[in-house]
Chains A and B, each alone.
Chain A
Amino acid sequence: MANEAVLQVEGIHTFYGTIEVLKGISLEVRHQEIVTLIGSNGAGKTTTLRSINGLNHPRHGSIRFAGKNITHEPPHDIVRMGISQSPEGRKLFPRMSVLENLEMGAFQRRDRSELKNDLDRVYSLFPRLSERKRQRAGTLSGGEQQMVAIGRALMAHPMLLLLDEPSMGLAPIFVERVFETIVEINQQGTTILLVEQNAMMALEVASRGYVLETGTVALADDAKALLRNEQVRKTYLGETD
């Protein structure tokens, strides 16, 4: 079980109109792993996630999840199969309350009885949200919005959680807290694919990592090895020699 691939992305090419943004990306996420995707701005990290969750279907290549080919499935079916996402820029429903946003995360679920437990779990991960559950999401601070985005994705009770830059725009203290939470969620049994600008912290919590460069995988290795990799240290960890 432990080494079984939950998600297999094989040689995908994804386009925006006629622009080829992903030029043959392959990656794999195994059961109960945290895998991180790093790379500079515009490398194609968000596009990779949008290919997986069905918002931008790849033109070539294939994506398999839990043994099924999901390459051309619509996003709402992919959510039902067990992939949920906290998207880049949070994308909350601004005119709904915190609680309503969290409930939207569980939209496709049939097991209504379990919802209370999941809500409690989100509130224990982010106590701040329970204090603000009646507040409109659009009026929350950036950090609070990020918590809602992650909590909302958790409410889907996913097998695989996609996180797109969960630490973006947060104060250092909050960044720490978000990474702690990611580890906590993972320890509770959720497999995670994590996209991050903060390569250092991402590689510290991940077991493996992929480095994207202009739509291709430049490096793929164990997270510890990537942390030691000279090229990675220079380019993404901001080290100078």
Chain B
Amino acid sequence: MKEADLVTEAHVRPVKARRDLGARASQAIGFLLVLVVLAWLGVNLVRAPDNFGRVLLIGVSQGALYALVALGYTLVYGILELINFAHGDVFMLGGMITATLVAQVFALGENPALGSLIAALLVSLAAAIVGCAVLNAAIERIAYKPLRSAPRLAPLITAIGVSFILENVAIIWKGTRPVSVPVSDFSAGNGRKIFSIGQVVYTSDRLFVILITVPVLIGLIWLVKFTRQGKAMRATAQDKDAAAMMGIDVDRTISVTFLVAGALAGAGGVIFAFYSTEISFGTGFTLGLFAFTAAVLGGIGNLPGAVLGALLIGLIQNFNEGLSWYAPGSKWTESLVFAILILILVFRPQGLLGERTPEGA
């Protein structure tokens, strides 16, 4: 017995030491990286404070949009441990619904009057939120539910399949060329001045994004934290069998989760359509990957983490594209975002706010 202990001790020690060294080295590298980025931001701030402020505001708006989509990934992952690759495409269809309503029902031209713009926005929100919520819940029922007890890989591949189907639906509906939405007070770079601090102007396009995302986020927090439905969602996410034993209808709870995720994606689609004025069948893929990266960065399954991750990705993207002193520029954005994804998966797989619990949650 004693001898066996000694043998394992001798065996374990050098391995452990090596691992400590590795961990310390990677920590040091991470720390250095953060330091370099902060220094770079600092120099940019000092050299061109106005530009820095402007880019910061754009980054926050874009991050808020990513947050809506990232939350959908994280909600669904939290409850089913499924990466719903079709989520970005549900978001894209929300944008397509908006484009259709704005062009065909409201027939808005360039720079429409504020009244008709707001009417079109509200109707689009209602239609896209309901439409995407129902679509997302239907996808779960048809494509994922029958695979609930299948190996993990099966629903994952199905999700990729659903993603292709939705993109093809968009192609049949709208064609392969980007669909445009008329430029308005809500479009990036075309907003009216709301107020300004020094040379930094706060414009209506940014305000529009925040005015939609903030109430939606507050509503989500309220739902998850304080309602009976939210309790059921949290319990189901932690242990499905135990949740059923508490009297929770697990299937219904999963459906509601997909409804909520779909609604968030729908709201995101509306914002995107008005804000960027151009949307195509492939939009959901790229933006979905950014949002997914944001969810992983914050800690997948963690709701505040998804918002934090999304804001960071929005800021990183815009600092990269908009700062004047040694910014890599927009052609590097995707590489940068995926480099971040890889770095997190290697150095902190549980994400910024995620925790490594013994249950593997």
Taking Cβ atoms with an 8 Å cutoff, the residues of A that contact B are 53-55, 74-76, 79-80, 84-85, 87, 91-96, 103-105, 107-108, 138, 152, 156
Contacts and interface: CB of A to CB of B under 8 A. Distances in A.
A38 B360 CA distance: 32
Contacts of B192: none
Given A75-B245, A91-B241, A91-B242, 13 more contacts: A53-B245, A54-B244, A74-B249, A75-B247, A76-B247, A79-B247, A80-B247, A91-B239, A93-B235, A94-B361, A95-B238, A107-B231, A107-B232
B327 interface: no
Contact of A92 (B231, B242, B247): B242
B105 interface: no
Nearest to B242: A91
B79 to A, nearest CB: 13
A55 B241 contact: yes
Contacts of B172: none
18 contacts: A54-B244, A55-B241, A91-B242, A92-B239, A93-B238, A93-B242, A94-B238, A94-B359, A95-B234, A95-B357, A96-B234, A96-B238, A107-B228, A107-B231, A107-B232, A108-B246, A138-B357, A138-B358
A104 B237 CA distance: 13
Contacts of B228: 107
Given A96-B234, A96-B238, A107-B231, A91 B359 contact: no
Interface of B: 228, 231-232, 234-235, 238-239, 241-242, 244-250, 357-359, 361
Given A138-B358, A138-B359, A108 B247 contact: yes
A103 B247 CA distance: 12
Contact residues of B: prevailing secondary structure = helix
Contacts of A96: 234-235, 238
Contact of B244 (A55, A93, A94, A95): A55
A79 B361 contact: no
A92 B243 CA distance: 9
A85 B361 CA distance: 23
Contacts of B361: 94-95
A85 B244 CA distance: 10
Contact of A107 (B239, B247, B357, B358): B247
A76 B241 contact: no
A27 B250 CA distance: 29
Contacts of A53: 245
B242 A79 contact: no
Nearest to A54: B244
A148 to B, nearest CB: 11
Nearest to A90: B242
A53 B228 CA distance: 22
Contact of A87 (B241, B248, B250): B241
B235 A76 contact: no
Contact of A84 (B235, B245, B248, B357): B245
B132 to A, nearest CB: 28
Contacts of A85: 245
B303 to A, nearest CB: 12
B358 A104 contact: no
Nearest to A108: B247
Contacts of B239: 91-93
Contacts of A93: 234-235, 238-239, 242
A107 B232 CA distance: 8
A104 B238 CA distance: 12
B6 to A, nearest CB: 30
A152 B361 CA distance: 21
Contact of A104 (B246, B249, B250, B359): B246
Given A55-B241, A93-B239, A79 B246 contact: yes
A91 B245 contact: yes
A107 B244 CA distance: 10
A84 B238 CA distance: 19
A76 B238 contact: no
Contacts of A76: 244, 247-250
A129 to B, nearest CB: 17
B244 to A, nearest CB: 4
Nearest to A53: B245
A79 B232 CA distance: 15
A80 to B, nearest CB: 6
Contact of B357 (A55, A80, A94, A108): A94
